[in-house]
Amino acid sequence: MDKIIIRGGNKLKGKIPISGAKNSALTLLPCALLTDEPLTLRNLPRLADIDGFQHLMNQFGISTTIAGSRPEDFGRVMTLEATRITSSVAPYELVRKMRASILVLGPMLARMGEATVSLPGGCAIGNRPIDLHLKALEAFGAEIELASGYVKATAPKGGLPGGSYTFPVVSVGATENALMAAVLAQGTCVLHNAAREPEIVDLCNLLVAMGAEIEGIGSSDLTIHGKDRLHGATYRVMGDRIEAGSYACAVATTGGEVELVGANEGEMQATVDALRTCGVTVEPVKGGLRVASEGRLKPLTISTAPYPGFATDMQAQFMAMLCMADGASVLTETIFENRYMHVPELNRMGAHIETKGRTAIVHGVPKLTGAPVMATDLRASMSLIIAGLVAEGQTEVSRIYHLDRGYERLEEKLSLVGADIERVGAD
């Protein structure tokens, strides 16, 4: 199994290209199920999760072709064609490794009138039930059955009649599934307290490009007027705001100046505001963001929250960064109850982090020291990379398959801006 070796201490300087957003791409891919015409997605990141979702779509009889696949290219172009869907079952062996697989439930139900999907897997960062997905679909007229680890959803003859649902708490995945089911409903579907993440807007924009009618895009109240059919489209996946924020934290931690090509401040405002509070320079430039840092960082008190609040997917990276702040920082995780698994690994490197329940107190230290560490989930992996970039000596990060789920060619991008980092095979 591969490892990443980092010899810390180098400041970062140059340009890093920001890839297409993983969290958006995994939502746009299942939209191919909604039409019998080709759907072409540009700027798809090269990630293990994208490959896994492609295999899942092939399971349904969907053809997929890839262009722009030269090794030196970042991003790919994929065309998916669901002229004829041959299976409405998403099996356990394909779904178990990737939680986003549940997102085939809504579009498959809408197109085929039925869908059977294994209960999902993914990172072990806490309990992430799918009950809100199912309740929203039931509100639109679906019948739901749970048996033997599978969800079976069935629409009435003629399609989902439509309806209204108010989410008791904000759920990104449930909003996405409900949207994709609603666009082919026989009537009108209304969602209240819907998620507002940029990835939701990206999904809505693609669905509209395919002929859907959606009111309230970007707000928490969405009205979807169902259509008899959707058509194909060509669409560019938005840039990855979490990847951009992660590299910004790396620059803030190590010092230096980097241009994040393709980053959009408006889509990651809470992250940018938090960086500025810590004394990091973040300013828009043509086609991206310039991030610069020198000297000790200021401490920070912040809580994760649904968009437009501070993203839970940025918590681990900020924790690593704040290890080098001048003072104590307080992080509160409100989204997932088990997202501090990186704390023991950071403490192995000389960090001083205390946790109590959902709160972590990060005491800034003069230095971190390289050590062998183990990644526990996707964003925790990146926190260890950031710590390794600033640590004295050598850091060895194992179980990096987590990283490959969400960061396209990470070691190559960091090497471009001066990091001493390499991927090595297992002994």
pLDDT per residue over 285-297, tens digit each? 999 999 999 999 9
pLDDT band at 71 (very low <50, low <70, confident <90, very high): low
In a domain, 80, yes or no: yes
- In this model, does residue 381 exceed pLDDT 90? yes
Q: Determine which of 301-310, 332-341, 389-398 has the lowest per-residue pLDDT on average.
A: 332-341
Same domain, 10 and 79: no
Same domain, 51 and 8: no
Q: Pick the more confident residue, 125 or 101.
A: 101
pLDDT band at 89 (very low <50, low <70, confident <90, very high): very high
In a domain, 308, yes or no: yes
CB-CB contact of 105 with 133 (8 Å): yes
Same domain, 173 and 151: yes
Bridge pairing between strands 3-7 and 421-424: antiparallel
Binding site for UDP-N-acetyl-alpha-D-glucosamine, by residue number, is 99, 128-132, 313, 335
CA 351 to centroid of chain Cα atoms:
27
pLDDT of residue 129: 73
C-alpha distances (whole Å) from 372 to each of 35, 332, 390, 416 are: 48, 27, 15, 24
List residues with catalytic annotation: 123
Burial class from Cβ neighbours inside 10 Å (0-12, 13-18, 19+) for residue 38 reads middle
Q: Percent of the chain having pLDDT more than 70?
A: 96
In a domain, 288, yes or no: no
Q: Pick the more confident residue, 99 or 343.
A: 343
Return all residues near 41 (Cβ < 8 A) that are at least 6 apart.
25, 28, 29, 77, 78, 79, 80, 235, 236, 237
In a domain, 252, yes or no: no
pLDDT of residue 147: 86
The average confidence (pLDDT) of the chain is: 94
Examine the fold and report which residue of 236, 262, 279 is the final residue of a domain before the chain moves on. 236
Q: What is the mean pLDDT of residues 319-323?
A: 98
Q: Percent of the chain having pLDDT more than 90?
A: 86
Q: What is the mean pLDDT of residues 43-49?
A: 92
pLDDT band at 258 (very low <50, low <70, confident <90, very high): very high
pLDDT of residue 98: 78
Examine the fold and report which residue of 190, 221, 236 is the final residue of a domain before the chain moves on. 236
How many distinct helices (H) and strands (E) make up the chain? 14, 24
Q: Within a 13 Å sphere around the CA of 76, how many CA atoms are in the beta-carbon half?
A: 20
Q: What is the mean pLDDT of residues 230-247?
A: 98
In a domain, 279, yes or no: no
pLDDT of residue 7: 98
Same domain, 108 and 196: yes
Examine the fold and report which residue of 195, 214, 236 is the final residue of a domain before the chain moves on. 236
Chain position carrying tokens 């934290």: 249
Same domain, 8 and 77: no
For 191, which DSSP code? E
Return all residues near 328 (Cβ < 8 A) that are at least 6 apart.
299, 361, 362, 363, 364
Indicate which CATH number applies to the domain containing 207: 3.65.10.10
The domain in which residue 205 lies consists of: 22-236
Number of domains in the chain: 2
In a domain, 59, yes or no: yes
- In this model, does residue 426 exceed pLDDT 80? no
Q: What is the mean pLDDT of residues 353-374?
A: 97
For the chain, the distance separating the N- and C-terminal CA atoms, rounded to the nearest angstrom, is 8
Q: Pick the more confident residue, 205 or 401.
A: 205
Same domain, 405 and 345: yes
From CA 360, how far away is CA 343, in angstroms rounded?
A: 9
For 410, the enclosing helix (H) or strand (E) is helix 410-416
Binding site for phosphoenolpyruvate, by residue number, is 22-23
pLDDT of residue 124: 41
Please give the torsion angle defined by the CA atoms of residues 198, 199, 202 and 207, in that order, rounded to the nearest 10 degrees. Answer: -130
- In this model, does residue 50 exceed pLDDT 50? yes
In a domain, 260, yes or no: no
Same domain, 206 and 314: no
Burial class from Cβ neighbours inside 10 Å (0-12, 13-18, 19+) for residue 426 reads exposed
Return all residues near 357 (Cβ < 8 A) that are at least 6 apart.
none
> For the segment 115-172, what is each residue's pLDDT rounded down to a tens digit?
999 886 543 434 447 899 999 999 999 999 988 889 999 999 999 999 999 999 999 9
pLDDT band at 217 (very low <50, low <70, confident <90, very high): very high
pLDDT band at 32 (very low <50, low <70, confident <90, very high): very high
From CA 299, how far away is CA 295, in angstroms rounded?
A: 13
Same domain, 232 and 177: yes
Same domain, 11 and 133: no
Chain position carrying tokens 């809505």: 204
pLDDT of residue 425: 87
In a domain, 341, yes or no: yes
Q: What is the mean pLDDT of residues 26-35?
A: 98
Binding site, by residue number, is 22-23, 99, 128-132, 313, 335
Q: Determine which of 17-21, 33-37, 71-75, 410-414 has the lowest per-residue pLDDT on average.
A: 71-75
Q: What is the mean pLDDT of residues 24-29?
A: 97
pLDDT band at 194 (very low <50, low <70, confident <90, very high): very high
Same domain, 316 and 333: yes
pLDDT of residue 122: 43
Same domain, 390 and 416: yes
Same domain, 307 and 384: yes
